[in-house]
Each structure stands twice: as structure tokens, then as C-alpha cells.
Copies of this chain bind each other. A is one copy, B any other.
């Protein structure tokens, strides 16, 4: 035990075993309890550095109340940082304070002042300090005045503190912060199948066709183009349209059935184009400020070269067959899972990591990883830690729909962001409970939720039944509740034909090539564009999950404050989550929220409707219709 107890340090994930996450350029608030015997005045600071830097930096941390301290650091470089809180006894300030109390109580302080002078003079022997020299003279001239006017925050006080020995010097354990690229914390994703981007219905779309689509996607305000798998597709056991078996001759197969005689995870499906074509797509995206994300599914079609070259990486049953990917009683006949449960998994681990390395070398920095929760956590930790050491600007999104603690475990293992249950949270209390969980610390310190409104696998019931109004409503929710949101292409067209009774698309794009009219009537492109513009313009929507639900008398209307913990800016969002009916609600903002701002009439910009609105105080009625007038997104005018 050290002399001073430095505990309850935040942000901290499993007591520093795993890193908290932040975004480069954001401020990180560091809090802790600093507990020392007696009634000393204490001094403390935060020591931090990028793991690749040799010298520590220092940042202020200040006493708030009840032994609680708070400070900030602003890491300027992508990569892993360490920080430690240091504390010591501020002897000189303590002595000044006590002498002042004695003076006020009418006691003789001559001996106390002598002690202070001796201490200051001793500290001057080792170092120079002109302000402290003056202080010593002042104490000799008029000790009462010098004692009374000492201020530890003044230049003189600071110099006196800096010269003294750090008595009782103690330090916290070491904690980690992963400083991620901005794109890992704030991004709007657009998912598409490259083979569906062509304009010629007689042949599959290509990377070149994707380049043609870019302006269209950029116009909607997305900044990440996410490509479903681009590797060769297996022939054996190929699955046909709507999941039928056997596939017909011209069925293109699922892009997730990876690998055939041409190659596996380091090979392009030649129908999509060449490596040069892919490079051209990356360059075109970059030129308009967009990034490209790749889908990486570590699984193999029966034709994948691994199957023959590395039979030890698959689970052979006693009859010699390999197990299909299975989640009993479901079977994916076109996919063999990799078997991590083998005596020596390291060659497999190294090969898979080299797949990421391969695409990183080809310019890809962002990976959406399919089903990471079926692979061991220690593999991911080893793989992602190693990759990020060499390529700190890479970003990994975990596509895991599984038990919450396993999803959170994947973030601890190194995933920058993660899919969530957002798609299945519909009622007010469901949304509130879920967002409250994600906003809670320490979870929000390391788990970044991605809110996809739909995916090729998920067409939620609310979109099936609520139609266009529901598409608008769910887009507003996703875009304003999370800094990371995304759509799978077709959402802007409000496509919602399901397999009857299921949350799946009929004629799923997984098994066939689509051609779409991207500007078809009834599309909601302008609304999506507006949402992405709001996210870009107001950084309240760009920080980690910090949502506070406010009062709403009507469960059809959700009312919340979104706040950016780094910049402290905020916005209010009210939204009618019922796509069928207009609703009115009495909304209320508890006192303590935005103090000083909402005591009287306050003007806001409603950036969703494009109007100004004045709120009369902390309680008011609001009516919201389904559709284009379903929400108010209010930015305070200051």
C-alpha cells in the first residue's frame, strides 16, 4: 500500500487490463479518488504517453469534492496510450493554510512562519525561483499579509509547489487508452453488393460500376462505402435464389461462401474486376472524402484452397466428412467453418492475420468482420493487437449478434466498434433501456455501438409494416442515437418485401444480382442526406454514447438529449416512433440538465425541419406526425 490511495480511476476497463477507447483529437476526462490520511492539501497530475513515445507528458487533475479529482488529456496521435495518476502532499500550501487559520484564531504564528521560510529557503538551495525569493522577503516584511494572501493557484503559489519535494509521492496503476482514428468513432456506412451496381442487366456489376455509384452515395452524406465480400465464390453446394438447393446454373451464389479454384481470401472474384480496378475504386472514394470497408468472413466454401492445403484447419468427422457451418439445427451447406480447436492453432492464426495484412497493403483500412463471436477471444486479441501495432489506423467492426457480454468481450479483445441489437428495439422502453445500457460506464468507454437500420439478413418487422414512415423514423433514431450508423442499400428506396412471417428479405440479394432505380419515386434520399448533414455539422452527434432520456408523457414520442462528452456540445431530439399516427406529448427537461439555458424562453434551430423554434422553458407540448415531420432535432442558439 502506498501512502496515498489512488483508486476508482476512470476510464478503466477491467482495472486496466483492456484499453478504454477514444478518438484522436477528443478530450478524455480522467477521474479518480485520491485518499490520504490527515487533512493535507494534495497535489496530483496525470502522467501519460503514447506507447511509442519515450517521454511522459503531464496534464492537470484537480480536486472536485469528497476526495474526487478530475482532469483531462487530449491524445494527439493514433495508437495506444498509457496513463497513470500521481499524487503527493502539497506541504507548502498545507502550511500556509494552517498558519492562516492560526492567525485568524488570534494565535502567534511567528514560529509557523519561520518554519515556512525555512522550507522555502531549503527548496531555493537546489533550484532557483524568483517568485519564491520574493515570497520569502514578503514573509519577512509583513508575515500576516504574506500568509493571508498566499494563493496556491497564483504564479508564486505554483512556483512554490513546483520547487518542493513530492512528499508521500504515490501513483495509481497503469491504465490504457486506445486512441482510434476519427472514422472509428464517427461514421455513416453505406453497404452494397458490388455485383449489383452495374447498369447492364446482362452481367454482374464491377468495381468500376461502384465508382459510378460513388457520387450518388456521397450525395446522401455517407462517408464509408462498405463492400460485401469480394472474393471468389464456391461452386460446391452453392445455394440458389431464396436459399434454394441445388443452385441453378446461373445463380451467382452467396459472397460469404468464400473460395474456389481461383483462390481464397487473398483473391478477388474476377467478375468484380482486378486489383487495379479495386485500387481505382479506393482512389475515387478517397478523392471525395470517403473510405472503403471490406467484409471479412473467416469461413470457406468446400472449394477453398485451404480445404485441401490445410485439412487440419477443419473439423473432420469420423466418417471423413467436414462439418458444415452449423448452429444446430441450422446448416449452411455452402460453408465450412474453420476449426480453431486444434492442437496447434498458430499456423491458422498467422494465416488469418496475414489475410488482413494483405488487404491493408492493398489500401483497405476498415474491416467489417463477420461472426467474430464464433472464433476465440484470444485469437482476436492476438490478431488485432498485432495488426494495430503495425497499422494503428485500421478499424475493425464486429458483426456479432450474440450474448451481450460476448459482444462486449470482443470490444475488449480489440474490435473498435460493434453491431448491436438496435434493429430489434422498437418500443420506447426497449429503446430507452438499451441506450441507457450502452451509455453506462465503463461500457461506453470501450464499446462503440454501430446502428445499422437494416442488413442483407435483417428486414425488421417495423419496416415491413410501417413502410416509408417507419424507414424515416428508424433512420432518425439510428443517426441521432449513435455516432456510427449505416444502411444497407435499398433502404433509401424503402424496399421492404419480406419472406412471409420472417425478418428476412424476399429474393435476398445474398443469392442474386439486383438492378435498382436508385432514384425511384418514394425514396427518402433527401432525408438521409439531411440526417448525415446534421451529424456532420453538429458534433453533439459525433462523440461516444452519451444519451439522456428526458420526460415525455406519451410513449409514442421519445425525447432525449444527445451530448458529446469531449466537446460538451448537445442537442435535443424528439421523435414520434409510431409510424401510423400523429401524436402529441408533454415534454419535460429536468432541472439540472442544461442549467441556465432552459430556465426561460430559449431559441433552437430545428435542423430536421429547417425552422426555428422557441421553447418556453422546461415543459412544453409537441405534436409530431409520422414521416417527414416525425422528429424535431433541436440545436440551442447561443
| Residues in A lying within 8 Å of B, measured CB to CB | 1-5, 7, 14-15, 33, 35-39, 66-67, 89, 98, 101-102, 104-105, 107, 110-112, 114-115, 118, 167-168, 317-319, 321, 327-329, 341, 373-378, 381-382, 403-406, 408-409, 412-413
Q: A67-B405, A101-B329 are in contact. Are A114 and B317 (CB under 8 A)?
A: yes
Contact pick for A5, options B4, B38, B327, B377, CB 8 Å: B377
> A115 contacts which chain B residues (CB < 8 A)?
317-318
B373 touching A403 by the CB < 8 A rule?
no
> A4 contacts which chain B residues (CB < 8 A)?
377
- Residue among A1, A15, A404, A412 with max Cβ neighbours from chain B (10 Å): A1
B3 touching A66 by the CB < 8 A rule?
no
Can you tell how many copies of this chain the complex includes? Answer: 2
A39 touching B7 by the CB < 8 A rule?
no
B318 touching A378 by the CB < 8 A rule?
no
A318 touching B405 by the CB < 8 A rule?
no
Known: A111-B319, A115-B317. 8 other contacts (CB 8 A): A1-B378, A2-B378, A15-B15, A35-B377, A36-B406, A104-B329, A111-B321, A118-B318
Closest approach, in angstroms, between the C-beta of A545 and any C-beta of chain B?
20
Which residue in chain B gives the minimum CB-CB distance to A33?
B405
Q: A67-B403, A318-B115 are in contact. Are A328 and B101 (CB under 8 A)?
A: yes
Give A37 to B118 CA distance when docked, in angstroms. Answer: 64
B403 touching A38 by the CB < 8 A rule?
no
Closest approach, in angstroms, between the C-beta of A507 and any C-beta of chain B?
26
B377 touching A1 by the CB < 8 A rule?
yes
> A14 contacts which chain B residues (CB < 8 A)?
7, 15
A to B CB contacts below 8 Å, 14 in the list: A1-B382, A2-B377, A3-B377, A5-B412, A15-B15, A35-B406, A35-B409, A37-B376, A67-B403, A89-B341, A102-B329, A104-B329, A107-B329, A112-B317
Which residue in chain B gives the minimum CB-CB distance to A412?
B5
B329 touching A376 by the CB < 8 A rule?
no
Give A403 to B63 CA distance when docked, in angstroms. Answer: 14
Give A406 to B3 CA distance when docked, in angstroms. Answer: 12
Give A107 to B324 CA distance when docked, in angstroms. Answer: 13
Q: A5-B409, A321-B111 are in contact. Are A105 and B328 (CB under 8 A)?
A: yes
> A37 contacts which chain B residues (CB < 8 A)?
373-377, 406
Give A112 to B118 CA distance when docked, in angstroms. Answer: 84
B412 touching A66 by the CB < 8 A rule?
no
A3 touching B376 by the CB < 8 A rule?
yes
Give A107 to B66 CA distance when docked, in angstroms. Answer: 65
Closest approach, in angstroms, between the C-beta of A307 and any C-beta of chain B?
18
Contact pick for A105, options B101, B112, B329, B412, CB 8 Å: B329
> A110 contacts which chain B residues (CB < 8 A)?
319
Give A245 to B40 CA distance when docked, in angstroms. Answer: 29
Give A328 to B382 CA distance when docked, in angstroms. Answer: 57
Give A503 to B377 CA distance when docked, in angstroms. Answer: 60
Give A403 to B40 CA distance when docked, in angstroms. Answer: 12
Give A451 to B328 CA distance when docked, in angstroms. Answer: 58
B67 touching A114 by the CB < 8 A rule?
no
Closest approach, in angstroms, between the C-beta of A598 and any C-beta of chain B?
28
> A39 contacts which chain B residues (CB < 8 A)?
327
Give A403 to B341 CA distance when docked, in angstroms. Answer: 53
> A377 contacts which chain B residues (CB < 8 A)?
1-5, 35-37
B329 touching A35 by the CB < 8 A rule?
no
A38 touching B3 by the CB < 8 A rule?
no
> A114 contacts which chain B residues (CB < 8 A)?
317-319
In the A-B complex, the 6 residue pairs with the closest CB atoms: A105-B329, A101-B328, A1-B381, A15-B15, A114-B318, A111-B317
> A67 contacts which chain B residues (CB < 8 A)?
403, 405-406
Q: A66-B404, A67-B405 are in contact. Are A38 and B1 (CB under 8 A)?
A: no
